[in-house]
Amino acid sequence: MQLKAQIDKFNQSITRKAVIRYLTIVVDMGHATLKQDMRPNRGIVIKNLLSSFIYEFAEMNPLSKLALIVTSNEGAEMLSDFN
């Protein structure tokens, strides 16, 4: 019992310094992004939101890796690998 208490106390004293996360974002940039139901169009809105998300993600998770894939015209293109 005493050994278990010592191990539990040791485990509680350990703090995690960092967690590495791997995130892949897939964005569909097909014909629907040209619709202007959002100003100026869906594509610009997606780009702005994605840009701010990536910036905040990098600030909160400095060791994490992010990949970006864009799909359009029945194909996909990797814009960035896990960098």
Q: What is the pLDDT of residues 46-76, one digit of tens each?
A: 899 999 999 998 888 888 899 999 998 889 9
| pLDDT higher than threshold 90 for residue 25 | yes
- Report pLDDT for 17: 60
Does the pTM exceed 0.85? no
CB 66 within 8 A of CB 20: no
Domain ranges (residues) in the chain:
17-80
List Cα–Cα distances, 26 to 5, 10, 52, 56, 65, in angstroms: 47, 41, 16, 18, 14
